[in-house]
Chain A
Amino acid sequence: MISTRKDIAAAIAANRFGLGARPGELSAVERDPQDWLVRQIKGAPPVLTGQGLKPSSETLAKAIELRRQGAEEKRSKKNASDDEVQVATALKLPAIYRPVYVDEVHARFAHSITTERPFLERLTQFWTNHFAVSIDKIAVLGLAGAMEREAIRPHVTGHFTDLLMAVEKHPAMILYLDNQASIGPNSRAAKFVGRRGNGRKADINENLAREILELHTLGVNGGYTQADVTTFAQAISGWSIGGQDNSRRLARLGVDNGTPGEFLFREVFHEPGARRLLGKSYADDGVKQGESILRDLAMRRETARHVCTKLARHFISDDPPATVVDRMTRAWLDSKANLPAVYRALIESSEAWERPLAKFKTPADYIYSSYRALGIPLREPRRSLQAFEALGQRNLMPGSPAGWPDTSADWDGSSGLLKRIAWADVVAQRMGDSRNARDLAPQLLGATLGEDTAKAIGRAESGSQALTLLLASPEFMRR
């Protein structure tokens, strides 16, 4: 049981575990801060709503159709090169994908600044970052937001196994890490690919398999080898997307091309054979082979420890206490990766309630908490999202499958700090005298509000300057 003073615990619950207190929230949280968190991870997660949200399969089907038209065009214009058609298609794709992306991240932003279950939202975005796809790869620009809604949100309060399975089969992940193009050299399709005479030969692409082992499950020191990566890549070869391959050769084989935009196990791409991975044998049984491996990976101690360490680092401190990680790992293994059990082990650890303000906020945290703090109204989507770009954390664009980094040193650069202050000042000027920083400060920071900050706010020369000081204060920069 935690022994932290209730008023400090309330500030920790709302700011460290949540997305930042809203005015009036702390007094409600203070009654039982731990219970306030536990209640948020009970029951089905909310379904995100908003203008323009549609299934990823619908968006992807449009992209696939675009490519099919491109291929047709190429056939009609005999002398058009591969590159020309590819470029023409590539130019049209963002026109389909960009508005979808804007609608997705705007809906997510709107939800983050109003949700009554901010802890659950933090967890959701933690998982999205754990299973990162980055929209600087155009192929996922229109799909990344939908991946969070379709593969992550439904499983945040479920089992890690289901979450893992849903993510690795999601078209966004498959495309991001090139698995749709992984073709076993001994698969049935290999013979056709080799015959095209364009120098291309069928082979495994190990990108997805490697990142599943290194980033999503075991962790880089999880005891696997290059040979394991290759074996696993063979096992998931054929994990693909429906409608993608429109080659007539495969059609003649009578191959099922699936539903456009949805997961499809392309048996003809799959490298046949039984295989052994990390001491276990897996029969030659098609898609089930990869699924069994994923299920086993989810239950391994290395996976539990790797993911629990990341969770503890995300919520508690850059170097989380080993005792907490141990407890979470045990909860993971005992509960068969039931995520709420793991979350409870985190929030029931007394260490999680010590040292308030131990984490430096990421830019996204900073923006969410500012919006919640001042009740800043959302503007039209493109403008609202500029803040993330200005502060250096563009939505769903961490730039690599490792996701955004998660320690102070990654975010506390001098230029980054000045950008926050400059942004806070613009926001404060926009809000003008409509918010009273002196009243707000104790409501937002509670018992963590320091004397220096309270004094500086009190002495400010204008209402908007007081708001700037509140948002720029050391207490508000951290959580």
Chain B
Amino acid sequence: MSDIVVIGAGQAGASLVARLRNLGHTGAISLIGEEPVLPYQRPPLSKKYLLGEMELERLYLRPRSFYEENGIALLTSYTAVSIDRSGKQVVVDDRQISYDQLAICTGSIPRHLPQAIGGGLAGVHVVRTLADVDAMAPGFTQGRRVLIVGGGYIGLEAAAVAALGGMHVTLVEMSGRILQRVACPETSEYFRKLHQGHGVDIREQCGLQHLTGDDKTRVTGAVLTDGTELPADMVIVGIGVTPATELAAQAGLEIQNGIKTDARGRTSDPSIWAAGDCASFPYRGERIRLESVGNAIDQAEIVAEDMLGAGTDYVAKPWFWSDQYDCKLQIAGLNAGYTHVVTRRVGEAVSFWYYAGDKLLAVDAMNDPRAYMIGKRLIETGKSPDPSEVADAGADLKPLLRA
């Protein structure tokens, strides 16, 4: 039995080692993570955990006993420094760990504001790790002023938590509209209204020029690109992530918008696989990278199976969710290349269906789990309903699944 090492103890790494044991692998398994805690769920960090509605213990993906009982060496607070591919060893701080097979699940790294415009000031936060969120959470108190830079899902979720906590929230988005990179104008409008209804000051087509600081140590405010000066007690930066490819690149693995893998998660080295946010993979004739829990789990499980020789190709079924105030957004599919959007409204529930010509690509469903689930199944099976049926609030869409 081979010795398997997994670098990165996030969702992908944790799912991968669990799957290996579940499939009956009896060789050694080491899981190496930089953070000082058990592998945990990241999505609640910008939602229930930040709201104070979910305690730390509930974030853990598995209890410590799981790793002990399954003979998984969990090395938390350890950093993989380099990979010696010819010697098949991972250099981890002060030691080397030998592998027969290696998986890289290093995730992604949040973009920071440049130091030159105040990115290094105290009170400026990113949202990625438990430590990031623990650092900002004490500042979430009523009446304080928070500036959120970036109108993507992370920024909007943080804005919702701040607004619910009675903070004064301003959100700036450099592009024409919030969610521009990931959603249609209809979805942007829905969330703009939702946030404005909770008192969030959303400023689109407005970037950050620079932050101002008290003695250049702690943030006190911001100057926006339209010249506005705003006071701020804290700043949250949600301007996207980059795949954590440094270790793989140093080891000479092929990088192409992430660590380049084939459909089974294999990198350019036959003994090394990659999964999760850090990996790019073939999808419908293109190469994509997904930043989502669903992808981290599914791709990691494909890698585990392939490592043990029973590989199947990964067919990604993209899905995502976001919680803001009382709205649950569920997204099925990928909307890239859509030509038009069909709206379905049933009572308070709204969903936007993205089409490229006659082909259904994706669904954004707001408080409409039926639309989400039906859309997801239709997309996965390559079916595209007639837009007039989708738009008909009186029509039950479920029969479409059997069509």
Tell me, yes or no, whether A binds B.
no
Which B residues contact A (CB, under 8 angstroms)?
none
